[in-house]
Chains A and B, each alone.
Chain A
Amino acid sequence: MTAAVIARDKIAPARGQGVWAASWRRLRADRVGMGAMVVVVVSLLVVLATGLGLVGAHWQDEVAVPNAPPGFMGPAPAEAVGAIAEPKGPNVDLTDIDPLAPKYKEWAERAKQYKTVEHPKEETRIFGADRLGRDVLQKALKGAEVSIMVGLLAALVATLIGTVLGALSGFYGGKVGDLLEWIYNVFTAMPDILLIFAFAAVFGRGVLPVVLILALTGWTGIYRQIRAEFIKHSVREYVRSAEAIGASKASRMFKHILPNVSHVALVQLSMHVVGFIKYEVILSYLGLGVRVDQVSWGTMLSESQAELILGYWWQLVAVTAMMAVFVTAFSLFTDALRDALDPKLRGLE
């Protein structure tokens, strides 16, 4: 017995690199991917900070004059703001004909009892201000929180649905598989956007409904991939061996096969984040997204359309730039992740 153990130790080869360690090594070698990852991580930290109220919590404060331009442009000229020039010369004395004249003094006395604080409105902000004088930078950060959160949550839920259903369908096949295939066919029988509209009609507005709408429409692609993987893996030797030593079906599905296909789910997850963020922006623009007291990139874009005609371009540029940076970084990161986790696909794009 002891001899056997020793013998096994001797012949056992040094443990090879795990799939995750190998992927991490490949990812680290990808300079573009690592750069993108840094941008993504920084963005997610900003989202976390706004979520905790450290940044952008006062986005609703009207801190500047309406449509205050960005700092580098200097304050808007007076005529552009629509200010009326102060009249010159002395005021005309109306005391004789003004019926309210005797009361002015009394009112002034009474008004003194109340303390009023004047907040001076700023002429410029770094990224300018919107039509209510709210700071565009703070709004864009708060909007980033909502848009990115919706994208991440929806992708998570969609991946969860797709993975569980795909696992069941691929592993069991037969009746269960047929039923799930039928559901898949029903959900893909019409264009995505139509399904989104139908769900939007019944679920209402807000962050959670949007997450649900996107997840319930977006799980089908993930289901398809995971199902194919489970069909492939369920007849492999390691799964057969597990069955032979009495591993239950659930154990085989989730303990044995799932870790071996989880990289597919991870890649799918990150591929869907970008798509969902874009959908959230469109839904919010159309008024089917977040509630009116919330801000997202989509609601900002819908405001910016009217502003652009009046020549106030800064909200549009701020949102577009922020979104472009995040989405580009996330897409590049996803590409790098896919290459790292699934080296067979490398070099195709």
Chain B
Amino acid sequence: MAAYVIRRLWQMIPTLLGVVLLVFFLFKYFGSDPAVVLAGQNASADQIEAIREQLGLNEPTYVQLGIFLKQIATFNWGNSWATHEAISHLFATRLPATLTVMLPIIVLQTVLAVPFAMLVAYMRGSLVDRSVMVGATLMVSISLLVYVIVFQYVFAFRLGWFPVQGWSNSFWTNLTTYSVLPIIVQVVVALAPYTRLYRTFFLDEIGHDYVRTARAKGLSEQVVMFKHVLRNALIPIMTNISASLPGILVGSFLLEVFFSIPGLGREILLAVNRNDYPVIQAFAIYIAVLTMLINLATDILYKLVDPRVVLK
């Protein structure tokens, strides 16, 4: 196991280097000149030149790349161009808000979609099954934007059940007051596609021989479904969830924008609108690292749950 983990960490280095190169050259060759962005609209040519000198933009490319690598290795990104807040501080303060919204979403949508999908799969071909499938297709076809707009209007603005938007300093208030509506919206939206997907996993298992054997030896339907089918279907479901885990880092950007939640996604969007390159670059690399680590953790977890999986 230790050898596996070390090898995986070792393999991350070229990928990470690729991400660094991609981010570096993307902004160097396609982005606008940082000095012009920083100097503002009324800057003179001298001022722009001074900023170029200060940022090291007049150095050859490999020196600039070296500076970039040094920043990454030392976690010293300097400050945001727009707010002059330290970028590492920015990251550390925005991550909790994102997780406060995203973790309950992941848990709730799984807890709801799995039994629902099992039920629908059990009643395959029935009217309920068909109407749920048609309903799911219809629900998925409507943009997430529409759900957020309508839910915010109806439940927060009209009925006043939830605050329209906002965030506080207390984790508990955030969880029980401000993030409730965003969580509901996302879970409602995600329920349809996940039910559809998990239903196929259940159907796949129900078709196997061991289910017929279990029924033939006289086991009750509950035992067949919960002890035999559910356990096996959980494996592809887990794969699916673990594949979606990295998404929790920025996945809620739309909710964060609508509900004024100071999370990572909203921060990146603000940075994009302000041409705040250091923030975008730093976030891209930090999140890539986190994504790779999450993937490694889920692979290990996978091994613990399913003994048949061989790590290589």
Contacts and interface: CB of A to CB of B under 8 A. Distances in A.
Contacts of B21: 186
B178 to A, nearest CB: 19
A111 interface: no
Given A201-B275, A287-B273, A301 B149 contact: yes
20 contacts: A183-B18, A186-B15, A189-B18, A189-B19, A189-B292, A190-B284, A190-B291, A191-B291, A197-B269, A201-B27, A201-B272, A201-B275, A201-B280, A282-B144, A286-B269, A298-B145, A320-B143, A324-B142, A327-B140, A331-B141
Interface stretch (B73-81, B108-116, B251-259): B251-259
Chain A, interface SS category = helix
A208 B47 CA distance: 34
Nearest 3 A/B pairs, CB to CB: A186-B18, A327-B141, A202-B30
B141 A194 contact: no
Nearest to A287: B273
B246 interface: yes
A297 B144 CA distance: 13
Interface string A17-28: 000000000000
Nearest to A274: B141
Given A282-B145, A349-B196, A190 B153 contact: no
A84 to B, nearest CB: 28
A191 B292 CA distance: 10
Interface stretch (A2-10, A223-231, A302-310): A302-310
Contacts of B5: none
Contacts of B31: 201-202
B250 A194 contact: yes
Given A194-B283, A201-B275, A349-B200, A328 B138 contact: yes
A324 B138 contact: yes
Chain B, interface SS category = helix
Interface string B131-171: 00000011011111110011001000100000000000000
Interface in A293-327: 297-298, 301, 304-305, 308-309, 316, 320, 323-324, 327
Interface of B: 14-16, 18-19, 21-23, 26-27, 30-32, 137-138, 140-146, 149-150, 153, 157, 196, 199-200, 203-204, 246-247, 249-251, 253-254, 257, 265, 268-269, 271-273, 275, 277, 280, 283-284, 287-288, 291-292
Given A186-B21, A348-B204, 5 more contacts: A186-B18, A197-B269, A201-B272, A202-B31, A308-B149
Interface string A175-218: 00000001101110111011101111111000000000000000
Contacts of B150: 308, 316
Nearest to B30: A202
Contact of B246 (A191, A199, A298): A191
A195 to B, nearest CB: 8
A323 B246 CA distance: 29
Nearest to A304: B149
A287 B150 CA distance: 20
B280 A286 contact: no
Interface string A277-297: 010011001111000000001
Given A282-B143, A327-B141, A331-B140, A198 B16 contact: no
A203 B29 CA distance: 11
A314 B254 CA distance: 23
A301 B19 contact: no
A274 B292 CA distance: 28
A198 B140 contact: no
A301 B146 CA distance: 7
A332 interface: yes
Contacts of B271: 201
A278 B254 CA distance: 13
A189 B146 CA distance: 30
B137 A328 contact: yes
Given A197-B272, A198-B280, A282-B254, A182 B15 contact: yes
Nearest to B164: A309
A4 B250 CA distance: 69
Contacts of A332: 137
A191 B249 contact: yes
A297 B284 CA distance: 28
- Most B CB contacts (10 A, CB to CB) among A183, A201, A309 go to A201
A182 B17 CA distance: 10
Interface in A324-348: 324, 327-328, 331-332, 348
